[in-house]
Amino acid sequence: MELIKPAIQVVNDKFDIQAVDPLSPDTIFVRAKNGEFDTVVTMYHDQGQIAMKLMGFEKGITLQAGLPWIVTTPAHGTDFDIAGKGLAKVSAFREAFTLARKMIS
C-alpha cells in the first residue's frame, strides 16, 4: 500500500483521471461490470484474468504496461488447438487491436 497509493496519486495528477485507492478484489469486478468503473488494474496477470474470462471470455483483452511499446492481446490466449479449423472467434482480437490503435493516436 505504501507504494500503490502514491502511484495512484501520480497517475491521477499526470493523466487527469480518477483512479481510486486499492479496493477489495472479491467485489471490484462485479462493481466494474455494473458500470461503476471503466477499468480494473491488477498487480499480477492472474489476479485479473479469471474474472475477465468469466465476465466476457470472447471480449476480454490484456494490456501489458511498463514497456516502451504497446502490447495488447486477447485474454483467451493463442488457442493453438483450433488453429486452421475455422473455429476461432476474432472479437477479442478486434478489441485488443482497437485499444492499441487508440493508444497510438
Where residue 6 falls among pLDDT bands split at 50, 70, 90?
A: very high
Q: Which residue has the higher pLDDT, 91 or 1?
A: 91
User: What's the confidence (pLDDT) of residue 89?
Assistant: 85
Q: CA dist 44 to 9, 14, 33, 48, 99, Å? A: 20, 23, 20, 7, 20
What are the grid coordinates assigned to 72, written together? 495488447
Q: What is the DSSP string of 44-89?
A: SHHHHHHHHHHHHTTT-EEEE-SSSS-EEEETT---GGGTTTT---
What is the percentage of the chain residues whose pLDDT exceeds 70?
A: 100
pLDDT of residue 98: 96
What's the pLDDT at 20?
Answer: 92
Band the pLDDT of 25: cuts 50, 70, 90: confident
pLDDT digits (tens, 9 = 90+) for 52-97: 788 877 888 888 888 999 999 888 777 789 889 999 888 999 999 9
